Amino acid sequence: MDVLWMIVLTVGLLGSHCEGAISCKNENGDNVDWFILYKKPAGFDYVYIDSTDQNLTKTKKDKPVNHQAGVLAHTLNPYFEKNKQSPHFGFIAYNDQTPSCNALQEYGHSKGVVMIDKENVVWLLHSTPKFPAGDASNNFYPDNGKRNAQIFMCVTLKSTESAQIAQHLKGINAHIFKEHNPEKLKDSSNVQRTLPYDKDLSSAGGQQFKRFVKQVSKKRDPKEGDLYVTIADTLQSDLYIQTWRSEPTDPKKRPLSETEKKKLVTITSVKTAAAYHTFDFHV
């Protein structure tokens, strides 16, 4: 089953959530409603934005992405210290490329960690194979995650959204390779949804997201519904896309893809004032 996921940030409000509940964290270990982190290729430095500061900034030099007191380690601390958490705490880690094996073709091409307690759910989506590699803050980032650029997106949600997340993971056929009290994240509904579909999702602070569950069109045929075609038509927006290419061609000769309503534009290079260098497409 070849399935992709995508979550699209739309519009929303910032807010606070319950003190003491699990949450996405920043470099200082403070709670944030959400963050997006881009790790540069050939290293562990990254650029970052979150709900408290939406200006793209460079990481602190003393806290790279694999640091045991950095953004990811702070966020995953309950995962590392599961035995110190309340009985309400649980997590699942899913990855189609686990620490012990290569890509599993029968599962969705999806990666993430979901943690839940009585108040909140933390959903950390990412692109890194074999992540998390270990169970402690000093060994969680895999060596294979250094070479290529990677992306992490964390959202803090209220625990009432856990059924939506469980349903999403069921829809994308996520490969769960590690779990703790997984019954906390089970989807209790028997609703069978027809793919593709999308649903709105609200963070604990009121930020609005949209999640997509989609089976991939093997031929990338808009009539069958490619993932990006589905997103563009649903959001009624052109899309500018930079992504890994499984069947690369010369980007200078690549025509714009189009849906019946919107354009899909291939981005070959991205440069910002905060970036360490230009982000170029890879094959």
Reading the block at residue 200, the tokens are 């709105």
| Parallel, antiparallel or unpaired: strands 150-158 and 34-39 | antiparallel
pLDDT in tens, 122-147: 999 999 999 999 999 999 999 999 99
| Candidate ranges 14-18, 251-255, 269-273; pick with highest mean pLDDT | 269-273
Handedness of CA 42, 45, 46, 47 (dihedral sign): negative
Choice among 19-33, 122-136, 182-196, 247-261 with the minimum mean pLDDT: 247-261
pLDDT in tens, 89-112: 999 999 999 988 876 777 888 999
Average pLDDT, the chain: 82
Percent of the chain past pLDDT 90, that is, above it, reads 50
Whole-angstrom CA distances from 67 to 23, 28, 37, 101, 250 are 18, 12, 14, 25, 37
Q: Give Cβ neighbours of residue 206 (< 8 Å, ≥ 6 apart).
A: 12, 13, 14, 15
pLDDT in tens, 153-167: 999 999 999 999 999
Does residue 116 have a pLDDT over 90? yes
Question: What is the predicted pLDDT for the residue at 48?
Answer: 92
Q: What is the 3-state secondary structure (H, E, C) of 184-198?
A: HHCCCCCCCCCCCEE
Distance from C-alpha of 264 to C-alpha of 240, rounded to nearest angstrom? 6
Whole-angstrom CA distances from 23 to 17, 52, 68 are 9, 14, 17
Q: Is 60 left (phi over 0), alpha (psi -120 to 50) or beta?
A: beta
Residue ranges of domains in the chain? 3-216, 233-283
Which of the four pLDDT bands, split at 50, 70 and 90, describes residue 61? confident
Distance from C-alpha of 182 to C-alpha of 3, rounded to nearest angstrom? 22
Question: What is the predicted pLDDT for the residue at 217?
Answer: 55
What pTM, to 2 d.p., does this model score? 0.85
Does residue 252 have a pLDDT over 60? no
Which of the four pLDDT bands, split at 50, 70 and 90, describes residue 185? confident
Of 118, 116, 131, 96, the C-alpha closest to 181 is 116
Does residue 70 have a pLDDT over 70? yes
Question: What is the predicted pLDDT for the residue at 132?
Answer: 96
Question: What is the predicted pLDDT for the residue at 256?
Answer: 47
> What mean pLDDT do residues 250-262 have?
54
Distance from C-alpha of 60 to C-alpha of 40, rounded to nearest angstrom? 14
Distance from C-alpha of 282 to C-alpha of 280, rounded to nearest angstrom? 6
| Parallel, antiparallel or unpaired: strands 263-266 and 239-241 | parallel
Does residue 12 have a pLDDT over 60? no
Does residue 245 have a pLDDT over 90? no
Residue 231, CB half-sphere, CA atoms under 13 Å: how many? 24
Bigger pLDDT: 120 vs 173: 120
Which of the four pLDDT bands, split at 50, 70 and 90, describes residue 50? very high
Asked if 198 and 210 touch (Cβ cutoff 8 Å), the reply is: yes
DSSP per-residue codes, 63-100:
--TT-TTSHHHHHTHHHHTGGGS-TT-EEEEEESS-TT
